[in-house]
Structure 1
Amino acid sequence: MRTVKTADGVTVHSESVGNGDPILFIHEFAGDHRTWEPQMRRFSRSHRCITYAARGYPPSQVPTDPAAYSQQHAVDDAVAVLDAHSVGAAHVVGISMGGFCGLHLAMRHPGRVRSLVVAGTGYGARPHEVERFRAECDAIAEVIETAGIAAFAEQYMSGPSRVQLQNKDRRAWQEYTRWVSEHSAEGSAATMRGVQRERPSLYALEAELAAIAAPVLVLAGDEDDGCLETSVWLKRVIPTAGLAVLPKSGHTLNVEEPGLVNTLIADFLHRVEAGVWGPRDPRADPGAITGFS
């Protein structure tokens, strides 16, 4: 375990295990460093695995200033974690909120990202959904503050893209729900308002995304409707992106289908480290239907 001091003085809890090429795991809004345990155990056998609790998520510090929560702060914190662990460039694996962070990290600090796995990423990204997404973020923050984090956890983890985990692995769902209930209400509400609500639409960043040169793997659940279409769009926009869609799966992919997700990530990392994961072959023309004209 290591306490990291961020650029603006916030303390962040981080953990590192294993040896080899580094992997940085970045969690989702409802998660924390513990939700990466299936991946930390698997990949620490061959890699140096680093994860951390984002600001606002104990044991990391919970800033009281709402201005301390933003997409920019999230990216800066990821850089601070890499710096604290003396890592130049890492394979970066992010889910949902962590996937957005990974994409912004690759756009703003390309030298720090050797490769990128983006899972369950897309909520609020489509332009026509931005205002609706922001309204839902406000509603979520209000529920957290009024009903309490425990009541919110039960409601949120029973949502349309999380019932898949509940149905497949009740024990994992109960554990995940307990973890959410242990989060800081203040930190979670501030994260929802500052990081989630205010982040730019990915569609407004198409040119920057298209410039990403690092190998990218996009993972999506076929029942995670808020992310599925954007995941396909990311595959088409990022030249190096590959896409895997998991059947009958929701949002919490790394916990819901840990074996399959680990296999997909392991194959991706193997191909990246072998130097054989490149951009799309120009002969694979996305504008063609049959290949004949």
Structure 2
Amino acid sequence: MIITTSDNVKLNVKKTGKGKVVLFVHEFGGDQRSWKPQVSYFSRRYECITFNARGYPPSDVPKSIESYSQERAVEDIYDVMNELSIDKAHIVGLSMGGFAALHFGIKYPKKTISLTIAGSGYGAEKKHEDYFRRLSSDVANQFIKLGSKEFSKIYGRASSRIPFLIKDKDGWDDFLNILGEHSDIGASMTMNAVQAKRPSLYDLEDTIKEISTPTLIVVGDEDDHCINPGLFLKKCIKASGLLILPKTGHTINLEEPSYFNNFLSDFFSQVENKKWLPRDPRSNPLEIMKT
């Protein structure tokens, strides 16, 4: 189905199953098809919503850079929920989608049952911030210069994607095919205006500490630039848990779908039964042992 956002951009949305709503927000390198293992699993008990972000056909590809931003990505989630008359949802995001989920949780806490922030950290580390912005600009230029089909062969072999390639060549090929079908303009605009310009997580520390929504943070232990940001989020968000999957890179939900689905399912169950609580104050992280 197609919904129209508050700024008149059409987004392609798919709804599968019935029950409480789980809304999945995809990463830069994927699209709504990247959530297939999760939709197949969770649609047996939940209503699963996926959508292609703006810039990702068959959603519209606005030609103006002003149409893309971290703030706009948050509003797109809100608009999808509003158009489908969804009051509250479990919000699950990977990488770029994880940042959007986090910012959505900050702005619209009453719309969230839970937050899952997976593989989110690129550009957040202060010592790499300027480098990440320059690199994002270079990547944006390469999508225009080479086109998505050719540049996907380079982008898809980033260090954090190699664990997926090693474990599951066929799955990695499917990922690469989706990446190669990206709109050249949409990918470039998204990289320049969303990825490169989003604020560092560390600059939002006080705001993040105000989040009370139950949150699951997921990182792979070979997704190096997401590990420290994941630890940072765990320390900031009161009702959060941190899952680190071994020998795992960036494309967590596709690389380890069984682990991802099982942990997510348990997380949802604990949240819905009010068992996913803030850390007990007796568990003081500054304490080593009692004497």
Shorter chain as denominator, the TM-score bin is over 0.9
Q: In structure 1, the residue corresponding to 2:75 is in which secondary structure?
A: helix
1:60-79 deviation digits (Å, cap 9, x = unpaired): 00000011000011000000
- Counterpart CA distance in 1 for 2:192 and 2:185 is 11
Once the two structures are TM-superposed, the CA of residue 7 in structure 1 deviates from its matched residue by 1.1
Q: In structure 1, the residue corresponding to 2:159 is in which secondary structure?
A: coil
Q: In structure 2, the residue corresponding to 1:176 is in which secondary structure?
A: helix
- Counterpart CA distance in 1 for 2:113 and 2:192 is 30
Aligned to 2:113: 114
Aligned to 2:290: 292
Structure 1 residue 125 corresponds to structure 2 residue 118: no
Aligned to 2:217: 218
Once the two structures are TM-superposed, the CA of residue 196 in structure 1 deviates from its matched residue by 0.4
Question: Where does 1:239-258 land on structure 2 (aligned, <5 Å)?
Answer: 239-258=238-257
Aligned to 1:232: 231
Aligned to 1:105: 104
Once the two structures are TM-superposed, the CA of residue 292 in structure 1 deviates from its matched residue by 2.0
Once the two structures are TM-superposed, the CA of residue 81 in structure 1 deviates from its matched residue by 0.5
Residue identity matched to 1:74: A
Aligned to 1:44: 43
Residue identity matched to 1:261: F
- Counterpart CA distance in 1 for 2:287 and 2:186 is 48
- Counterpart CA distance in 2 for 1:284 and 1:70 is 39
Structure 1 residue 136 corresponds to structure 2 residue 152: no
1:232-254 deviation digits (Å, cap 9, x = unpaired): 11101100110010000000000
Once the two structures are TM-superposed, the CA of residue 226 in structure 1 deviates from its matched residue by 1.0
- TM-score computed with the length of structure 1 as normaliser: 0.98
Residue identity matched to 1:292: K
Aligned to 1:187: 186
- Counterpart CA distance in 1 for 2:258 and 2:63 is 38
Aligned to 2:160: 161
Structure 1 residue 78 corresponds to structure 2 residue 77: yes
1:38-69 deviation digits (Å, cap 9, x = unpaired): 00000000000001000000000000001100
- Counterpart CA distance in 2 for 1:144 and 1:221 is 27
CA RMSD for the aligned pairs? 0.7
Residue identity matched to 1:204: D
Aligned to 1:148: 147
Aligned to 2:276: 277
Partners of 2:125 and 2:225 within 8 A in 1: no
- Counterpart CA distance in 1 for 2:285 and 2:59 is 44
Aligned to 2:59: 60
Residue identity matched to 1:15: K
- TM-score computed with the length of structure 2 as normaliser: 0.99
Aligned to 1:33: 32
- Counterpart CA distance in 1 for 2:29 and 2:217 is 20
% same residue: 42
- Counterpart CA distance in 2 for 1:113 and 1:197 is 26
Q: In structure 2, the residue corresponding to 1:161 is in which secondary structure?
A: helix
- Counterpart CA distance in 2 for 1:283 and 1:136 is 44
Moved over 4 A (4+): none
Deviates more, 1:120-129 or 1:35-44: 120-129
Q: For structure 2, which runs of at least 5 residues remain unmatched after alignment?
A: none
Partners of 2:93 and 2:100 within 8 A in 1: yes
Q: For structure 1, which runs of at least 5 residues remain unmatched after alignment?
A: none
Q: In structure 2, the residue corresponding to 1:245 is in which secondary structure?
A: strand
